[in-house]
Amino acid sequence: MPDNKELVNMLRAVMQEEMQSVRQEVRTIVQEELKPIRHELQELRQGQAELSLDVQNLKRDIQSLKVDTLDLRDGQAFIEATVKDLEKGQSDLKKGQAAIEAAVNDLKTINRRSHKEVFSQLNAIWDDVKRIDSCLDVQEKKAIR
């Protein structure tokens, strides 16, 4: 009959064999249980990579939008300056138009006065011509007699 030490050693050997088969079963079970988790982990990593790429694209798009916003602000400032220039030009044109209208009115007034003066002088000349003609008629009549 084996002594206690031998029995303990035999028991250990049997337990180790049993433990090895249990370990193998546990490993197999754990591996099977881990398969979906590993698959999900792989999907999560892939999703994280896609999200990282999306974040990079968003950062690039945001930077592009910032540049576009600056361009729009520059364009808006240019348009505002152009509008101010156009408004000033319009104001200058209105002043010029008012000056031209005043000058035209002055010219019309001068033209009316000139017409009146010319006709007045023409009437005076015509009256002088009539008087001269009348005087000549009188002198001719005197000369004939």
The mean per-residue pLDDT over the stretch 37-42 comes to: 96
Q: Alpha carbon of 94 to those of 3, 35, 99, 142: distances in Å?
A: 128, 85, 8, 70
Gyration radius of the chain's alpha carbons: 60
Sequence-ordered alpha helix ranges (H) in the chain: 4-144
- Which of 50, 42, 22, 45 has the alpha carbon at shortest distance from 34? 42
Tokens of 98: 């008012």
**pLDDT tens by residue, 92-144:** 999 999 999 999 999 999 989 888 899 899 999 999 999 998 888 777 777 77
Tokens standing for residue 120: 């007045």
Looking at residue 136, its pLDDT comes to 80
- What pLDDT score does 124 carry? 92
**pLDDT digits 0-9 by tens, 43-85:** 999 999 999 999 999 999 999 999 999 999 999 999 999 999 9
**How many angstroms from the chain centroid is the CA of residue 27?**
65
CA distances (Å), 111 to each of 48, 103, 120, 123, in order? 90, 12, 14, 18
> Residues 2, 10: contact at Cβ < 8 Å?
yes
Q: Is a pLDDT exceeding 70 seen at residue 145?
A: no
Residue scoring higher pLDDT (90 or 116) = 90
